[in-house]
Chains A and B, each alone.
Chain A
Amino acid sequence: MTDATPARQAPSRGLLARLPALPVSLVIGVLLLAPLAVAAVAGSWLAPYPYDEMNIMSRLQPPGADFWFGTDEFGRDVFSRTLVGTGSSLVMGVAATALSLLAGVPLGLVAGYKGGRAGEAIMRAMDVLMSFPPILLGILVLAVTPPAQWKAIVAIGIVYVPQVVRLTRAITLELMQEEFITAARLRGESAAYILFHEILPNIWPPLAVEASLRVVFAILLGASLSFIGMGAQPPSSDWGLMISEARPFVEQAPWIALCPGFALATAVIGINLLGDGLRSLLDPRNTGAH
């Protein structure tokens, strides 16, 4: 997700000339995500104040010259906290998606390529996982031990494994009908060779599209888990947690909730657009009825 760098090097003339060829949604998505990517990498360095510096003298200050987006109930600078929280909020979604791919792709490959009992067992296990509502599955995984952010990442990863398995299996089954796979089999290649050298390179484009959209759900689920106290823990400035902590003060100081809320919305819209753009770039079959 963070390799959305082209926009930052935009001034080069060659790229500008090629821009019209890229889908508009991809370009807008990258433009929205670029500042977030910068904030995620260099947030604590760019922030005007340390994210956890309390200053009781300036509690609940409205946005102004000193504090661009005001301060919270401990006098912490909301802008700095939102900036520093970018990493936590986005990493949660990206890491969870990566985990679900890491576990889901091999399972899907086996289920699709081997089929038989092993494949059946994998798919039925996925059915059970999918029978839980996503947030409840997350809660079930998390409620066992005291909450921590890495546990939330693992929980979200588990929640989205079934979708990855299903997609990988479906694409694998489709590829198995292709001639180049039959040819490889006739050549007497090993199953491992076919899986890793013939099938895997061909499933990544649809998986990349899927993953980019999955990241959005993962970020939102992560924010929801942090919001109900099962994700990032104080004094972290994860966006979901910030919004949760801002609730009691929402009438006096709405900016504490609004700033991370807008950041979250920017991230979600940006990734959605990026995903739409990727889809039209990588998967020409899917021109979309919408």
Chain B
Amino acid sequence: MLAYTLTRLVYLALVLAVMSVLVFLVTQAMPGDVASMIAGQFASKEVVDAIAVKLGLDQPLIVQYGRWAAGILRGDLGRSLVLEQPIAPILMEALGRSLVLAVVALAVVAVVGIALGVLAAVRRGKLTDQLVSGVSYLGIAVPDFFWAIVLVLVFGSYLKLLPTGGYAPIADGFLPWASHLVLPVVTLVLMLLARIARLTRSSMIDVLQTNYVKFARAKGMPESVVILRHALKNALLPTITVLAIDFGLILGGVVVIETIFSYPGMGRLLLFAIQRHDLPLIQATILIVSAAYCLANLTADLLYAFVNPKIRHGMRAS
């Protein structure tokens, strides 16, 4: 297991290195030239050239890439052209907010999705089962931004229960902070619920047919103990793996949700950077979000290998 983990970590480092080259090259190809952006539109050519020399923009691409990559390894992500500040602190703040959103959404998906899945498995083929699959199907049938608009309409505009966007730091109190999270979290949950509920349902159905569950029942254990303690524990393994994948999905898909709810996280930072042609900021946000996405996927793979010795040994052999 340790050898497998190490191999995967080395591989991840390689993938991230290739990714950083790609991100760097693509952003180099974007219109807009850093030196003339800093100099302003009325600057003379000499001023622009001087800034380019000062920033090392006149050097070959490979040197520029080396300097950029070395900076990242030291935790220096460069300076934002538009905000005129170092990127790292801005980005960390935004990443923190996005992570809060992702963690809360994931926790809700886990609890609600697993509960619905167990319920559907226990009452398999009955009305409850069909209701659960019907409701969770709706969540994936409609794009997240459409759900977001419906939720804003119902809870924000008509019922006036919740703020329709924005963010309140937790320093302002728990309630304002939490109330800004509700609608984005519900939107994310609607998107991810179906998969978790269906997966839990099918693995629960498999586990309920195994001998040890039959044995536990035969021993005269109450049904609730059989289901919650014996069956669920084993049925959850595949679900946990998918939850790790979902965490990556939330982080990756955060651009749309954050835009709709004006939530100041990574996604909005990225769109802001693209709209203002802030090349260093674009590079840093894309790289960091993608790295987080890779880490979440790696965690999913490792969890899967950890719970499934067959996979673990199969992979080591190859």
Q: Which A residues lie at the B interface, using CB under 8 A? A: 127-128, 131-136, 139-141, 143-145, 220, 223-224, 227-228, 240, 243-244, 246-247, 250-251, 254, 257-258, 261, 264-265, 268-269, 272, 289-290
Contact = CB atoms under 8 A, between A and B. Distances in A.
Contact of B30 (A131, A144, A254, A289): A144
A135 B250 CA distance: 11
Contacts of A243: 145-146, 149
Nearest to B145: A227
A290 B133 CA distance: 10
B255 to A, nearest CB: 6
Given A139-B270, A243-B149, A264-B146, A132 B290 contact: yes
B157 interface: yes
B253 A132 contact: no
B149 A143 contact: no
B19 interface: yes
7 contacts: A136-B255, A136-B293, A139-B270, A140-B26, A143-B282, A243-B146, A251-B157
Interface in B296-317: 297
Contact of B252 (A127, A135, A251, A261): A135
B174 to A, nearest CB: 28
B70 interface: no
Contact of A224 (B18, B256, B289, B297): B256
B147 to A, nearest CB: 9
A240 B29 CA distance: 27
Given A133-B289, A135-B252, A143-B274, A254 B142 contact: no
Nearest to B22: A128
A220 B145 CA distance: 10
B141 interface: yes
B255 A139 contact: yes
Contacts of A265: 141-142, 146
Given A128-B19, A139-B270, A224-B143, 11 more contacts: A131-B293, A131-B294, A132-B290, A133-B249, A133-B251, A136-B289, A136-B290, A227-B256, A240-B145, A247-B260, A251-B153
Contact of A257 (B137, B146, B202, B274): B146
B128 interface: no
A250 B290 contact: no
A224 B256 CA distance: 7
A290 B149 CA distance: 31
Interface in B120-156: 137, 140-146, 149-150, 152-153
Contacts of B30: 143-144
A250 B270 CA distance: 25
Interface in B276-300: 282, 286, 289-290, 293-294, 297
B237 interface: no
Contacts, number: 114
Among all A-B residue pairs, the 8 with the closest Cβ atoms: A133-B252, A261-B146, A289-B202, A251-B157, A265-B142, A133-B293, A269-B141, A268-B141
A250 B153 CA distance: 7
A140 B142 contact: no
B150 to A, nearest CB: 8
Contacts of B58: none
B290 A144 contact: no
B142 A290 contact: no
Contact of A128 (B18, B249, B253): B18
Interface string B233-255: 00000000000000011011101
A140 B81 CA distance: 19
A205 to B, nearest CB: 24
Given A135-B256, A139-B255, A290 B202 contact: yes
B15 interface: yes
Contacts of A128: 15, 18-19, 22
Contacts of A144: 26, 29-31
Contacts of B253: 133-135
Nearest to A145: B31
Contacts of B294: 131
B202 A135 contact: no
A153 B31 CA distance: 21
A112 to B, nearest CB: 16
Contact of A261 (B23, B149, B201, B286): B149
B30 to A, nearest CB: 5
A275 to B, nearest CB: 13
A45 to B, nearest CB: 27
B87 interface: no
B58 to A, nearest CB: 22
Contact of A131 (B15, B249, B274): B15
Contacts of A246: 149
Contacts of B271: 228
